[in-house]
Amino acid sequence: MQATSATLDKPALATRHGAGRPRTLLAGLVLIALLIGAGALLPKWLTFLLTMAASHGLVSLGIVVLMRCGVVSFGQGMVFALGGYTAALLFNRLGMTDALGMALAGGLVAALAALLVARLIAGYRGIFFAMLTLALSMVLYGVLVKTDAVGGSDGFNMGRATLLGQALPDASVGYLLYAVTIGLSGVLALAARVYFDSTRGLVSLAVRENELRVEYLGGSVRQAVAANFVIAAFLGGVGGALTVMSLGHIDPNFSYWTSSGEFVFVAILAGYHSVLAVFIASTLLEIVRSFSSLYFPNTWQLALGIFLLLAIRFLPGGIGSLWAGGKIKTSNGGRP
């Protein structure tokens, strides 16, 4: 109870959480610049791996946004697919080729779709919230598989994106898409950090701790959950669009439950304390999956499972708890 009241003490928390914000943002911008610069020196296979890690990490960041108010979405694949299909259809049907424009359009379409059901979904908690989001994702999967206009179960290809009206040269297309993905993902990650430290972001943590107390203090639990759901959808849509531009192909599996499961895997591994931890966890997943499938092609899923079990055993609060909240104790017993 006391923790929730403190979370909603706006003046005190605004001072405490806002004091280090300029330094955090500056450090984030420097890190983004260093990663983009380092990409020019990395081999192509590694830049592609990091591109996938950044775009998928952005989708998982959406789940972390929801985790901060005490719910977990098992249907993040739905917005991932919506963003990807939006980018691919804009390219193939409407002739829109700009990478930044397609990425933002993917996020907006996913957010608009989430807005239609946000108020309904925000009324559920726990396994009911998870299963309802999963059901929506699988409904979209079924529609996509049966719709020949978007390639059916095979999906369809998209061509090479442009950047600010300029065609991407063959020799550096991989690096430029890497730079766009790192840059856009980094900016959105910094925006998420600012949101987490804002009054509305802190109310989300209070919802996680004690919904009844939030309502008594004048806050709206349903509004907080609905807002986070829409934000999570926008992040997932942008991540889906960035992924499709790098792969050059999209199919209904983007919305399948296994895709959502991977995003949940990353969110659990990262924890809800840190934005940076989400992208570290996503990178670790891509590395483990790549090398496991290379050396253990028939049992790489087993390797991933063991990796997650070890992470839960020794880091129950996630990677982010190592530096952002390792000693935080909550009244809910540390539930996701």
pLDDT at 19: 53
pLDDT at 207: 87
pLDDT at 183: 94
3-state secondary structure 185-246: HHHHHHHHHHHHHCHHHHHHHHHHHCHHHHHHCCCCHHHHHHHHHHHHHHHHHHHHHHHHHH
Encode pLDDT of 298-327 as tens digits.
Answer: 777 787 788 778 888 888 888 888 877 544
Distance CA 320, CA 88 (A): 34
pLDDT at 325: 55
The answer to whether the CB of 289 falls within 8 A of the CB of 250 is no
Q: Where are the alpha helices (DSSP H) in the chain?
A: 2-7, 10-18, 21-39, 44-67, 76-93, 99-121, 126-146, 173-197, 199-209, 211-216, 221-247, 257-270, 276-295, 300-314
CA-based diameter of the chain, in Å?
60
Q: What is the model's pTM?
A: 0.86
Q: Provide the residue ranges of all domains of the chain, joining segments of one domain with +.
A: 2-322
Locus of tokens 């405490």: 16
The answer to whether the CB of 161 falls within 8 A of the CB of 102 is yes
Q: Say which residues have a Cβ less than 8 Å from residue 240's Cβ, sequence separation at least 6.
A: 55, 59, 79, 80, 81, 82, 83, 84, 85, 86, 87, 106, 110, 254
The answer to whether the CB of 293 falls within 8 A of the CB of 300 is yes
Local confidence pLDDT in tens for the 336 residues of the chain: 444 444 444 444 444 555 557 888 888 899 999 999 998 898 998 999 999 999 999 999 999 999 998 899 999 999 999 999 999 999 999 888 899 999 999 999 999 999 999 999 998 888 999 999 999 999 999 999 999 888 888 888 888 888 887 787 777 788 889 999 999 999 999 999 999 988 888 888 888 888 888 888 888 888 899 999 999 999 999 999 999 999 999 999 999 998 888 899 899 888 888 899 999 999 988 888 888 777 777 777 787 788 778 888 888 888 888 877 544 444 444 444
Distance CA 236, CA 230 (A): 10
Pairing type for strands 166-167 and 162-163 reads antiparallel
The SS3 assignment for 41 reads: coil
pLDDT at 6: 44
pLDDT at 117: 92
Distance CA 304, CA 312 (A): 12
pLDDT at 61: 95
Distance CA 128, CA 193 (A): 28
If one counts every other C-beta atom within 10 angstroms of the C-beta of residue 118, the result is 20
pLDDT at 326: 44
